[in-house]
Amino acid sequence: MSTEGKMKMPDIKFTKLFIDGEFVDAISGKTFETIDPRSGEVIARVAEGDMADINLAVKSAREAFDHGEWPRMSGAQRGRIMMRFADLIDEHTDELAALDAIDAGKLLSMCKIADVPGSAGNLRYYAGAADKIHGETLKMTMNYQGYTLKEPIGVVGGIIPWNFPIFMFSMKVSPALAVGCTIVLKPAEQTPLSALYCAHLAKEAGIPDGVLNVVPGFGSTAGSALASHMDVDKILFTGSTEVGRKIMEASARSNLKPLSLELGGKSPLVIFDDADVDMATNLAQIASFTNKGEICIAGSRVFVQEGIYDEFLKKAVEKAESLKVGDPFHVDTNQGPQVDKIQFQKVLSYIESGRTDGATLATGGSRCGDKGYYIQPTIFTDVKDDMMIAKDEIFGPVMSLMKFKTTEEAIERANDTKYGLAAGVVTNDINIMNQVSRSIRAGVIWVNCYLASGPDCPFGGYKMSGFGSDQGMDALDGVLKKKSIVTPIYKTPWL
């Protein structure tokens, strides 16, 4: 494990709530610690928003929506401002990448080449769509004609997790900004720093005060207040299925606001005998270990057909053992620490449950070093479908390897989960590819690739992985309301 050398600390410039265009203290005056998972040490104290601050932020967002210029300017104007915002994110790549790396233990190199530019990319994608929001003409069957108008839904509440802090921020904020909504965003308590920095850049780009508010705080106070607020018109959420359920309850108890819920997953990766084993091993590693397994679309149930199973296992173990676990700021590190102590202990307890349930540890299984929240890339074999490690979302670097014989068996076992977020298929046989990709009930199916995505590729869950879409034009529909406008029509030559 590489942790030698002095730990790098980015400059922390923004730690207050961002409400109505200003950085302010919480009304209560409270702050909370954000922790460096490399060491467990405090990075900074951040203002702790709660219900009172959420109320202020929603008031500001409401005013900006009901009377402000943002929803009333042309889509082209909004798009230009969003493009400036994206350029500013690009210009501050180094600082933003360092904030996510230190707050979440993410690889600095990945933040620089993927998370931060991907976030600017999300803004640009939706900036380009801002002046292309069209309805339909309705040739009605009676003496009327009409058209549909797509209007911004209003004040949007964003509640995001800690595994992709800036990327999640951009996924929720970009479509909402493009259509003219205003936003109150609560970042995860573990990772508030990049969202606050982005709020500062949004102001510099010219986004009017009140349009984008960022209120760090805890889920049970700030998050719950946002989900229950009578003046919030939509919640965009990513996180656990358990909290998704609480948000639905909060909506049902308050104003029945619609929701987009991107929840947990336990995705299968199905590898057939005809696959190139080296490619399959690479894809399995990407599926299970990317972002230390802290990704909702992790493909951590790896089903391998019996003909190549032994060769695959040998190569998968070699590959896992070659990964360098260590300081995410080092260029040669492949895997950083889990986000916090709770997540670290949760992953280790799943590993323990795998052992006691009778799975065989092929590699890994322990923490790395004695400081910080580092865990070895871990592979279990002899995993049964009903073991906890095969059923639950672990959110850590743990691969469950399972052998199968027939395509039908693979499909049945792949679908034997309450989740349905993603899946992967590795084969050169087009018929198997078609059969499997249509049979697995999940929101995205990757064939001979994994985690391949982009702003134009919508994704959202089946089953208990949620509903609603992130990315693509579908995400715009999530923050729009469709209105039908009808007028009588006289003296028409036909109906």
Ligand X SMILES: CCCCCC/C=C/C(=O)O
User: Quick one: 365 or 461, whose CB is closer to ligand X?
Assistant: 461
Per partner kind, with CB cut-offs from 5 to 8 A, the member of ligand X, ligand NDP, none near residue 317 is none
Q: Does 272 bind ligand X (CB under 6 A)?
A: no
CB of 262 to ligand NDP, least distance (A): 6
Window of 53-61, 293-301, 310-318, 411-419 that interacts with ligand X by CB under 6 A: 293-301
Q: Which residue among 167, 237, 303, 373 contacts ligand X (CB under 6 A)?
A: 167
CB of 238 to ligand NDP, least distance (A): 5
| Whether residue 4 lies in the annotated active site | no
CB of 192 to ligand NDP, least distance (A): 8
Chain residues that interact with ligand NDP, rule: CB under 6 A? 159-163, 186, 188-189, 218-220, 223-224, 227, 238-240, 243, 246-247, 262-264, 296, 343, 346, 393, 395
Window of 58-66, 122-130, 294-302, 359-367 that interacts with ligand X by CB under 6 A: 294-302
CB of 265 to ligand X, least distance (A): 8
CB of 174 to ligand X, least distance (A): 13
Q: Does 19 bind ligand X (CB under 6 A)?
A: no
Candidate list 262, 306, 352, 409, residue with the active-site label: 262
Per partner kind, with CB cut-offs from 5 to 8 A, the member of ligand NDP, ligand X, none near residue 167 is ligand X
Per partner kind, with CB cut-offs from 5 to 8 A, the member of ligand X, ligand NDP, none near residue 459 is ligand X
Q: Which residue among 119, 238, 290, 343 contacts ligand X (CB under 6 A)?
A: 238
Per partner kind, with CB cut-offs from 5 to 8 A, the member of ligand X, ligand NDP, none near residue 359 is none
Q: Which residue is nearest to ligand NDP (CB)?
A: 219
Q: Does 162 bind ligand X (CB under 6 A)?
A: no
Q: What's the per-residue H, E or C state across the chain?
A: CECCCCCCCCCCCCCCEEECCEEECCCCCCEEEEEECCCCEEEEEEECECHHHHHHHHHHHHHHHHCCCHHHCCHHHHHHHHHHHHHHHHHCHHHHHHHHHHHHCCCHHHHHHHHHHHHHHHHHHHHHHCCCCCCCEEECCCCEEEEEEEEECCEEEEECCCCCHHHHHHHHHHHHHHHCCEEEEECCCCCCHHHHHHHHHHHHHCCCCCCEEECCECHHHHHHHHHHCCCCCEEEEECCHHHHHHHHHHHHHCCCCCEEEECCCCCEEEECCCCCHHHHHHHHHHHHHHHHHCCCCCCCEEEEEHHHHHHHHHHHHHHHHHCCEECCCCCCCCECCCCCHHHHHHHHHHHHHHHHCCCEEEECCCECCCCCCCECCEEEECCCCCCHHHHCCCCCCEEEEEEECCHHHHHHHHCCCCEECEEEEECCCHHHHHHHHHHCCCCEEEECCCCCCCCCCCECCEECCEECCECHHHHHHCCEEEEEEEEECCCCCCC
Interface with ligand X (CB under 6 A): 163-164, 167, 238, 262, 295-297, 444, 453, 459
Residues labelled catalytic = 262
